[in-house]
Chain A
Amino acid sequence: MSEPSGDRAEGPAAPEGRAAAPEGRAAAPEGRAAAPEGRAAAPEGVDDLGPGVGEALERLRPRDLAVGMLTYNNAETAAAVAQSAVRGIEQYLPGTSAVILSVDTGSVDGTPDTLVGPSAVPVVSMVHQARLAERLTVPFHGVPGRSEALRRTLAASHRLGARALVLLEADLASPPPEWVARLALPVLEDKAGFVAPVYARHRYEGTITNLLLAPLIRALYGRRVRQPFGGEQALSGRLVDHLLIHPQWDWRSDDLSDVWVLGTAIADGFSVWETWLGRRTIRSRARTTDLPSMLAQTLGAVFAVMHRHQDLWLDVRGSEPLPEVGERVLPAVDPIEVDVPRMIEGFRLGLRDLVPIWEHILAPETLGDVLSLETVDPAEFRFPDDVWARVAYDFALGYHYDVVYRDHLLRSLAPLYLGRTAAFVRQTQGRSAEATEAMLDAVGAAFERQKPYLTDRWR
């Protein structure tokens, strides 16, 4: 595990343009003495965790570490994830008092039962029955009712007085035991308020993240978070408290809380770190592989936070990399089968069918740039980064001003994303991993460069 490369481990050193936390917020730096008793009264909403849960937590407190798992039909994997966490605590965090917190959101495959049994680390199981609508159309992350489940996990962690809360996705296939330590240590060592994961991936994996979400988060919040929707993450006890008492977030809404958590951590001065975890494998029956759905849900979550919390991002300029731990890995570049002509065909179908919708969303000059991208020879296909950034911002503005039914708006981005991805694949084929990283960095830089285009039009 490498030492942190950043030099600002603590403190509310906000990015340029954001001088301090907004008045009334508890912009709390890290470095506290891990004293649960020193905290304020229980934040609102922490007492509705279910029958017997409060008593169980009371018996177990205080704890150094809480490991949270949000489950939904993960009977195949959940127990192995929990066992991996237990082994990781025993091997890499000896002497750390820990507890596993699980919140099941309506499994019908007996997932909660798989977490029952003797364990070196006590398990506290909670249930939040997700709404029917969410269970019918499970979001991309595979956990319906995720926000409320997350809130309960945070609340339970607070009740335990945990110094660190590590979240592990329950559909991980054989996660290494050291993951829990890699996520927890920056927090337990009082360096980080929030730890985001970085995975070892192929360069053509995570294209939504790499080409859209990460550049957007980078430009919005001024931090180069590689994996804003990673799932695995760690939060300090102070950040947990801060989030729970935050008056401006509705945990019970459909909006994805993860983006707000990240944005709030950054904007309110918590030190955000990254930790390299290695290769991640998901074994899920619930996660969708439908690209338009994934786009709509992830980008919709970012746009929703942009829309409701412009104070988090509107004044931020520039960006900086995050301090990181773990062994950095370049993206794999071995050949894999990606159907670029089909992507370009998808882009062309969008040009044929969706221009009437895009006319409502894209600024005339942006639409003109997009229309000019059509080319006869797929080998010549390009999608300039600045045009792509303006496309993304026009969609954010369209979402903000509600110019088109929002789900339609988000899904209509899919052909443009396919075009941008096709251009990226064309651009990087035969190039090195370093060159690929440089190209992705250029995308982020374009989003930063074009941010005034967004803020000038945002009211």
Chain B
Amino acid sequence: MTKDWYKDAIFYEVHVKAFFDADGNGIGDFTGLTASLDYLRDLGVDCVWILPMYPSPLRDDGYDIADFYGIHPDYGTVEDFQKFLDAAHARGLRVIADLVMNHTSDQHAWFQSSRSDPAGPYGDWYVWSDTDQRYRDVRIIFIDTERSNWAWDPVRKQYYWHRFFSHQPDLNYDNPAVRAAMLDVMRFWLDRGLDGFRCDAVPYLIERNGTSCENLTETHDLLKSVRGVIDEEYGGDRILLAEANQWPEDVRPYFGDGDEFHMSFHFPLMPRLYMAIRREDRLPITDIFTHTPPIPPACQWCLFLRNHDELTLEMVTNEERDYMYYAYASDPHMKLNLGIRRRLAPLMDNDRRRIELLNCLLLTLPGSPIIYYGDEIGMGDNIYLGDRNGVRTPMQWSSNRNADFSTADASRLYLPVINDPVYGYQAVNVAAQAKQPSSLLNTTKRLIAVRKSSRAFGRGTIEFLRPRNQTVLAFVRAWRDETILVVANLSARSQPVEIDLSPYRGATLFELLGETRFPTVGAGPYFLSLGPHGFYWFRLEPPERTVRYGIEDSAI
């Protein structure tokens, strides 16, 4: 078993409540998720990422944790979770879970004690202040709902600090007791076999006057100490994945010297994939990689196309954001905060070629891919549901009632199943696509399987080639003796391209998706034509060691 398994893994992000409801109460649960593990294994998933599963008032979809040691009763019990975890491991799947380190729900016992007993043991567990003028320069993240990062608590009669919703007070990590408590929380789940945590909102753990209160040195020191404890106590194969919605150079410190986070999301890449396809120009992609610093060898980027949040546009310029809104959010309902609350398929106008092209890029650019549940079948969204609920609707298993997600009355479902003519469960569901060899589901399976055939995708270096045709993205991934060439047409029209493959002269191109051998690389540019949004994944096979007879050079 390799300790750096995450470098080759396919991740799958799923909300327990959204996947399968086994007890018929209209809300997905761990028993249902356990029953769905074979589906995930067959898809090619290596690691399941569970969104917050803890007891919570659910005012932020579980990111407002009220008890770090339990399971939300709607989803089951700790025993149900344990059965799920064991069943996943039995299938060779790993599981990581969301952990919100930065804050708790205001319903958490720690906060209730802190507000009611300032002199008690929890009195200093949150960031309290008599004034709301401290840290005045710190930006507000949820600009649509929050006016300040401070909220007044009428019980304690002080302001408390919150970087997110006002019902989510930030923990005070300057207090050693808080650090110890959070480590105990982690041990509780790791002792059960959990394979790691996706750590939410890590840039904001420590506050200091005169700073942005983001990415502080003290925050990194704290995170390194957490990593050190976990490595020491759990043998080094449990992972920490950082959610740090920052520019790559600001994310880079979260990897430390390979002693902080194992992985981090590459937030700025994601919107640029969409921009590149819309503009039919590779520049947004190649440009962001020029601004992506190298990371320590043991670390890995996490790539994603969509997730449970809005398609965040924090990491783009104002002009780029305007363009993205223009291109992908024609209806004001589609916008939320600095982002777009839509799923992958609707963003791509349900164009199979464009969806597959984005999946191609997700699976071939440097990093480990995360697939958001339902995107493998092209699920749609409902922009008229509040907040980000439009992309968190029930998984569509079949064309039966409630998409076979639940046997409950439809009105009891935690959110309505997508039911429009294009993306509705009657048209888009697992059962139907499983039967169609050419379905998006089976194509995605195929792409994943091919990705897993070469470790160069997960571990290789990347070199962008610069063919004259700007609509074509071409790059080489190389790892040890494996070399992969990916060529993708970002345009909706067929494109010719001449690629300089002179360093690989004599190599044969073996197209991995079609298992087709292409002509050998010669002295001149390599000519290819690509259909609309078409792509090739080539393995560059070195010239076979030519059997020499001594007569070849002048046989004619």
Contact = CB atoms under 8 A, between A and B. Distances in A.
Contact of A343 (B519, B546, B549): B549
Given A207-B551, A339-B548, A342-B549, A73 B556 contact: no
B119 interface: no
Contacts, number: 72
Interface string B539-556: 000000011111111111
- The secondary-structure label for the interface of chain A is loop
Interface in B474-523: 498, 519-520, 522-523
B524 A294 contact: no
A346 interface: yes
Given A207-B551, A289-B555, A294-B556, 8 more contacts: A73-B523, A109-B523, A136-B522, A138-B522, A204-B550, A205-B555, A209-B556, A298-B556
A286 B522 contact: yes
Nearest to B553: A289
A67 to B, nearest CB: 23
Question: Which residue, of A136, A137, A205, A213, has the highest number of chain B Cβ atoms within 10 A?
Answer: A136
A140 B550 CA distance: 17
Given A338-B549, A418-B549, A229 B556 contact: yes
B323 interface: no
A215 to B, nearest CB: 14
Contacts of A339: 548-550
A450 B520 CA distance: 39
Question: Which residue, of B498, B519, B524, has the highest number of chain A Cβ atoms within 10 A?
Answer: B524
A113 interface: no
Contacts of B552: 289-291
Contacts of B498: 108
Contacts of A108: 498, 524-525
Contact of A346 (B520, B547, B550, B556): B547
B547 A109 contact: no
A206 B524 contact: no
9 contacts: A107-B524, A137-B520, A205-B554, A205-B555, A207-B551, A291-B549, A342-B547, A342-B548, A346-B549
B550 A206 contact: no
Contacts of A421: 549, 551
Contact of B555 (A107, A294, A346): A294
Interface in A184-231: 201-202, 204-209, 213, 229
A209 B556 CA distance: 5
B555 A207 contact: yes
A421 B556 CA distance: 13
A412 to B, nearest CB: 17
B527 interface: yes
Contacts of A294: 555-556
Nearest to B496: A132
Contacts of B520: 137
Interface residues of B, number: 19
Query: Which 5 A-B residue pairs are closest in the complex by CB-CB distance?
Result: A338-B550, A285-B523, A136-B519, A205-B554, A289-B552
A294 B553 CA distance: 11
A37 interface: no
Given A206-B555, A207-B555, A109 B524 contact: yes
A376 interface: no
Interface of A: 73, 106-109, 132, 135-138, 140, 201-202, 204-209, 213, 229, 282, 285-286, 289-291, 294, 298, 336-339, 342-343, 346, 418, 421
A139 to B, nearest CB: 11
Contacts of A107: 524
A77 B547 CA distance: 28
A132 B124 CA distance: 74
A132 B527 contact: yes
A204 B556 contact: no
Contacts of B551: 204-205, 207, 291, 338, 421
A234 B269 CA distance: 62
Nearest to B529: A132
Given A206-B554, A209-B556, A298-B556, A286 B549 contact: no
B309 to A, nearest CB: 46
A259 to B, nearest CB: 12
A353 B406 CA distance: 59
Contact of B519 (A109, A137, A346): A137
A392 to B, nearest CB: 16
Nearest to A209: B556
Given A291-B549, A339-B548, A206 B556 contact: yes
A377 B164 CA distance: 85
Contacts of B554: 201-202, 205-206, 282
A338 B525 CA distance: 34
Contacts of B523: 73, 109, 285-286
Contacts of A343: 549
Nearest to A337: B550
A17 B520 CA distance: 46
A135 B527 CA distance: 9
Given A339-B548, A342-B547, A136 B553 contact: no
B520 to A, nearest CB: 8
Contacts of B524: 73, 106-109, 135
A291 B555 contact: yes
A208 B547 contact: no
A213 B554 CA distance: 14
B526 to A, nearest CB: 8
A384 B71 CA distance: 85
A207 B498 CA distance: 37
A263 B547 CA distance: 34
Nearest to A418: B549
Nearest to B500: A108
Nearest to A340: B549
Contacts of B556: 140, 206, 208-209, 213, 229, 294, 298
Nearest to A136: B519
Contacts of A137: 519-520
Nearest to A72: B524
Contacts of B547: 342, 346
A346 B549 CA distance: 10
Nearest to A343: B549
Contacts of A135: 524, 527
Nearest to A425: B551
Contacts of B525: 108
Contacts of A289: 546, 552-553, 555
A343 B552 CA distance: 12
A209 B519 CA distance: 26
A282 B522 CA distance: 17
Contacts of A282: 554
A340 to B, nearest CB: 8
A378 B128 CA distance: 93
Nearest to B544: A290
A456 to B, nearest CB: 30
Question: Which residue, of B519, B523, B548, B549, has the highest number of chain A Cβ atoms within 10 A?
Answer: B549
B555 A208 contact: yes
A418 B555 CA distance: 11
A201 B527 CA distance: 37
B473 to A, nearest CB: 21
Nearest to A297: B556
A342 B525 CA distance: 35
Contacts of B527: 132, 135-136
Contacts of A338: 549-551
Contacts of A208: 555-556
A362 B522 CA distance: 35
B494 to A, nearest CB: 14
Nearest to B498: A108
A136 B508 CA distance: 11
Nearest to B520: A137
A204 B556 CA distance: 11
Nearest to B527: A132
A208 B552 CA distance: 10
A303 to B, nearest CB: 16
Contacts of B553: 289
A285 B554 CA distance: 14
